[in-house]
Amino acid sequence: MPKSVLLLSGFRIFPNSTGGHIRSGSIARALARRGHRVLIYALAGRQEDYRGAKIFRSSRHIEQIEPNLTEETNLGLAFGLLQAIGRRLDYPRVWQYVLLRLGIVPKRLKAALQDANVIICDMPWCAPVPGPSRGKPWFLLSHNLEHRLLEQGNARYRWAASWMRKIEASAPRRYRDILACAEEDREFFKSFDLEGRLRIPIVRNGVDPQAYVAPPGTRARVRAELGLDEAERLLIFSGSGFAPNLEALETLKAFCRSEAEFLARERVRILILGSMSPSAYREGALIATGRVPEVVPYFAAGDAGLNPVTRGSGANVKIFEYLAARLPVISTPFGVRGTELEPGRDYLSYGPEELKTTISQFVHGRSRSEWRDHAEQVWLRHRRSCDIEELVRDALALLPDFQIPGEIKSC
C-alpha cells in the first residue's frame, strides 16, 4: 500500500524560492504523484509569515499543495524567534538540530511522527527525534555535504564545520538509508557505513518539467516590465544569497563595469534573478529583481541561462531549471557538475577571462530560433537525468520501505 510519508524540514518549502526549496519540493511532489500521502512539516516559517496580525490567528499554516501533498508550517513564536535571531546573526541552524535531538518539538510534529509510516529528514540539520517514532524507518535527504559548505563560509560557519562533519559521519548509523545528491556525498557516507548495510541511492538534482511551462504571452509581458525590446539578449543568472552565488555575482558586476561598451554594443543584458540581491536595481547591463514570488516568468523572458559559479558542493539546481525552461546554457565547467552535459554540444563553456568571447559566440553563433531549437534538443537528450519523477522512481525502487505492491523493482 502507499505510505504516509513525513518530510521534516527546517524551513517552509513552498512556494519554492531557492535551490534547496526546489530540490525538497520536487522530491515531495514526486513521492505524492507515486501515490504516497506526503506531509511536509516545516519547523519555522518565512519572515512574511510572522508579520502583522497574521501570527496571532494561528500557530500554524497548512496548505494543500496538490493531491497527496500537504505542507504544515509551525508558526510558534519560540521557533520563529530562534530562526530570526539565527538569520540576523548569520549563524548556522545549530538550534534546530539541538532541539530535535532533545525531543523539544511542537505537539503537532509529535502527532505527525506518530501518524507517519516513513520519515525523511530534509538535510542533516533536522535530526531524528527521540521517542516512539525512532522505531520507524528514518531516511536522510542529502542536498550536498553540509560540512563542506560550512568550511567555505564566514568564521561562525567554519566553526561549525567540524561539528557538522561528525554529524554527517554518524548518519549511516542513525538512518535506515540516505538519499544522496551526487557521487561526492554518496562516497562520503559509504566510507562511514562500516557494516555495508546501506544502498545510498542517488537522487540527483532535478526539477518538475511541468512547473517550467509559462502561459502564452509571458515573455512579451515580462520583457516589457523589464524595459527590454526584442532585439536585446537577456542572460539570466538565478540563485539565492548563497556564498558561491554572491562571489560569482561580484565577478559579473566587475565584468559588466569593465565591458560596458561591449555589452551595450551587442545589446546584452544580464538579469540577476532572486535573493542574491536584497532589492531590485539597475546598474549598466545588470538588472536585479530582488526576491520574486516565482522565477518561471523570468525564464520565459530570457534568451540563455548563465551560471558563473566556481565553487560549492553538490550540483546547482539552476542548471536543471534552465534546461527545463528550454534555455541555452552558458556556464563554467564547475557550474555543470553533477550533470551529463557535454561542453560544446550541450552548453557553452567558459573559463576565467573567457566570458566576453563566449557571449560573442552566443550572440553571433546562432539566431534566436536556432538557439531555441538547440535548447529543445538538449532537453530531449537529457530529460531522463533531469526529470525529478524519473530520478525519484529509480531511487525508491532500491528502498523496500517506499515500494508499492505491483511495482517492478530495479535490478
Q: Do domains 4-208+388-402 and 209-385 have the same CATH topology?
A: yes
> Which segment of 13-17, 113-117, 258-262, 362-366 scores lowest on mean pLDDT?
13-17
Proportion of the chain above pLDDT 70, given as a percent: 96
Q: For residue 213, how many other CB atoms are within 10 A of its CB?
A: 12
Cα angle, residue 215 at apex, residues 210 and 218 outer, rounded to 5°: 125
- With a CB cutoff of 8 Å and minimum separation 6, the contacts of 14 are 21, 25, 40, 63, 65, 71
Give the whole-angstrom CA distance, residue 284 versus residue 341: 32
Give the whole-angstrom CA distance, residue 158 versus residue 353: 30
In order of 40, 60, 64, 77, 79, the CA distances from 55 in angstroms are 20, 8, 19, 8, 13
Q: Which CATH number fits domain 209-385: 2.40.128.20, 1.10.10.10, 3.40.50.300, 3.40.50.2000?
A: 3.40.50.2000
Confidence (pLDDT) at 410: 43
| Residue 149 confidence class, pLDDT cut points 50, 70, 90 | confident
In order of 196, 221, 322, the CA distances from 240 in angstroms are 37, 24, 15
Confidence (pLDDT) at 411: 37
Helix, strand, coil in percent for the chain, rounding step 5: 45, 20, 35
Can you tell me the mean pLDDT for 123-149? 95
Q: Which has more confidence, 45 or 315?
A: 45
Q: Which grid cell is 138? A: 528514518
> Are 264 and 286 contacting, i.e. CB atoms less than 8 angstroms apart?
no
Query: What is the dihedral sign for C-alpha 250, 87, 71, 201?
Result: positive
328-364, pLDDT tens digit by residue?
999 999 999 888 999 999 999 999 899 999 999 999 9
Say if strands 281-283 and 286-290 run parallel, antiparallel, or are unpaired: antiparallel
The pTM of the full predicted model, rounded to 2 decimals, is: 0.81
Confidence (pLDDT) at 402: 92
Give the whole-angstrom CA distance, residue 312 versus residue 308: 12
Instruction: Please give the mean pLDDT across all residues of the chain.
Output: 92
Can you tell me the mean pLDDT for 394-409? 78
pLDDT above 60: residue 407: no
Helix/strand/coil for 77 = helix
Domain ranges in the chain are 4-208+388-402, 209-385
The highest-level CATH class for domain 4-208+388-402 is alpha beta
| Residue 220 confidence class, pLDDT cut points 50, 70, 90 | very high
pLDDT above 80: residue 31: yes
74-91, pLDDT tens digit by residue?
999 899 999 989 888 888
